[in-house]
Amino acid sequence: MSISQIKGNTVDVHLWTPVNEVESVALDQLRNTASIPWVFHHVAAMADVHYGNGATVGSVIAMKDAVCPAAVGVDIGCGMGAMMTNLTASQLPDSLKALRLAIEEQIPVGFNSHTSVPKIPLGIDNKRKKLFNSFNLLHPGVQERRDRALVQCGTLGGGNHFIELCLDENDRVWLMLHSGSRNIGKEIAEAHIKIAKTLEHNQRLPDRNLAVFLVSTKEMNSYRQDLYWAQEYAFLNREVMFELCKSVLVKFFPDIKFEQPILCHHNYVAEEVHYDEKVFVTRKGAIRAGDGDMGIIPGSMGTRSYVVRGKGSEESFQSASHGAGRRMSRGAAKKKFTLQDLEEQTAGVECRKDAGIIDEIPGAYKDIDKVMANQADLVDVVAELRAVICIKG
């Protein structure tokens, strides 16, 4: 059950974290969200909830006949993937630097793209072709981005996105990654958020950033088409990166075998039934945790991550947190922490240890163990992972 609640003008907010541990600006966002006329039943705030651009990160919102694009976020379809291998820790070399560099050479990070469309297995390649065959149906403002979107498919991006090689409690080696819909998803989101803000029915909202589209309107139909395209692109992006990572690992470990990946979005819209009503559910910084659903909840560089199985809590709209959640902004982290702090907090992890990733230091994030304890009613832990290689954008 939720730990605390706050009042909104339309519905209440149920939080899986103490109210006094949430920033006041995030609480204001949640109250504004709970005052949207179309919001349904209540707003669910996950254990990692924190202030976000436009809408709160870690919020799950059900709406009747409406969708708020800011409640999805600009990285549409951002999410996780994890894949167990047959390797064990004893088979890894003493130094993992060469393996890290090889993965970084294969997968562009930050703003970078592939120099050409990467070669991938036929089944995934067919999915890519089918997806891009419908590119001309997207918002006119992104039409010139087709070639860029093609070469960014299978790339990491920056910020909190990562590729990790991890060990579980039994010293089995896992491959885990976190990425989204790259620049094309951002541009699609921003174009539609801009349109939503101009619509008459949104002019009296407490926060225009929370503007919505209404069903059976041309604006909603256009957004849904582009949204679902971007969600599929983000999913494909992670599948392509897995294939590229696997091609590197096979060179280092010729006998390696891979289990089927666990893949999940945590910035997306789904059409679901809750409390006997069909609703649009937006999860921004939250995974689906229906009964038996597999998911991934990462910590941060140098801390544990978790593979989980959902318990199907209706109060959370069958959701759980998407990670540890930030406890300070990137700017604040850069001011507070030093390179020595980064070295100490990522000890034992093969990763960059330079000023370019200091805003991703573990100390900038909430305590993942406390986050997991606060949502013990939402998920069961299947595997506990600790990183031995971490690649950041």
Q: What is the DSSP string of 251-289?
A: HH-TT--BPPPEEEESEEEEEEEETTEEEEEEEESEEE-
Q: What is the DSSP string of 326-353?
A: BSS-HHHHHHH--HHHHHHHTTT-BS--
Q: How far apart are CA 338 and CA 359, in angstroms?
A: 10
By the 8 A CB rule, do 9 and 21 touch?
no
Helix (H) or strand (E) holding 192: helix 182-198
Residue 218 contacts by C-beta under 8 Å, 6 or more apart in sequence? none
Distances in Å between the Cα of 155 and the Cα atoms of 117, 230, 243, 260, 391 are 11, 15, 12, 20, 12
Distances in Å between the Cα of 123 and the Cα atoms of 84, 129, 260 are 21, 10, 15
Annotated active-site residue 192? The verdict is: no
Q: Which amino acid is at 181?
A: S
By the 8 A CB rule, do 339 and 358 touch?
yes
Q: Find, among 168, 238, 179, 214, the residue nearest to 381 by Cα.
A: 168
Active site residues: 322
